[in-house]
Structure 1
Amino acid sequence: MSDRLEKIFRENREAFEDDAPQGHFDRFEAKLDQKFRHQKKWNRKLFLQIAAAVIFALLLGNQLRMYFTPGQHQKATLASVSEEYGEVEFYYTSSIDQSLNEWDKLNQEGFISEADQQMMENEMQEFDQMQNQLQKELKANPDDERVIKAMLEYYQAKLSVIKIIINKLEEVKQQKLTHNETEI
């Protein structure tokens, strides 16, 4: 079989070496583009339909959950008491999040030991327990100034503890960097 193919190629060598007819490659490329463009549109359309169906199902499930369990999963926040308290709460929560991001950055850089990481996790668990208790109190007594004041003090304490720890770690980091620079 391969001998016959070789014979055909040798006999028709000139025909195989000739250039393709004028415009052959352009026509071939246009046919390929048309075929793949049609497939891409169909795939994109199918993908969008599936994505829309999944999103619809998730939204429907969430709405049904909220309808059948009203208020049980909603956490009480200072924003539910007043807009001003909501702004203060937003300030503290965003500051706490920013400080925890700094903590994560220091952890990734290797400046936090396993013991320090464990200590921070324990502190955060205690703060979370305290927050859950305060939220229950706030939900039960939304107009009680003592509970509101306790929530504000909670946010202040949590932010202060995180900031103190981060500042100490930043000092250690600077000392290590300065010590390394003097040794080089």
Structure 2
Amino acid sequence: MEEQSKKDWSRFTVNIPIDISPEKIKEAWSTPKTLETWFLRLAEFTTPSGEKRKREEKFKPGDSYRWQWYGWPDSVEEHGKILKPESGEFLRFKFGKAGDVGVSVVEEHGQTILRLIQENIPQDEESRMNFYVGCKTGWTFYLLNLKSLLMGGTDLRNKKSNLQMD
């Protein structure tokens, strides 16, 4: 009997096919203002010298961020740092304690695909649930929301502050 390979809980990939130009996909990830249209309630970026980026200003590697989401209280926020993208990526960031996230747009079989890889996820049981399962579920939703909006659809986020997600 063959030995089953062990599950790799340190990384996951989410692929979303989107019939739109790679430039429009990348633009949605480029400024605090564009991130707030599909992903975040609040996106703030600070330069390495301590200056807060303007809402329409593109953030860059070395910047730090503060993020908040709809459906969650102000006390739930993420802090991290924008990293230098690796080969093929247009964005890479340290996602708090949950690891590193790399985002790319690839063409496969004539289809434009938005690909997100989260890696270096801590390997304790709590991290497996919170970061592997929780983040993969969250990213799947937010990438589908981005696709919906880019394709002319509805914003799927819960924006009613009295309907909390926790």
What TM-score do you get using the length of structure 2 for normalisation? 0.31
For CA contacts below 8 A with separation 6 or more, give which structure has more relative contact order.
2
Structure richer in strand, relative to its length: 2
Structure number having the greater helix percentage: 1
Q: Could you tell me the TM-score, scaled by structure 1's length? A: 0.29
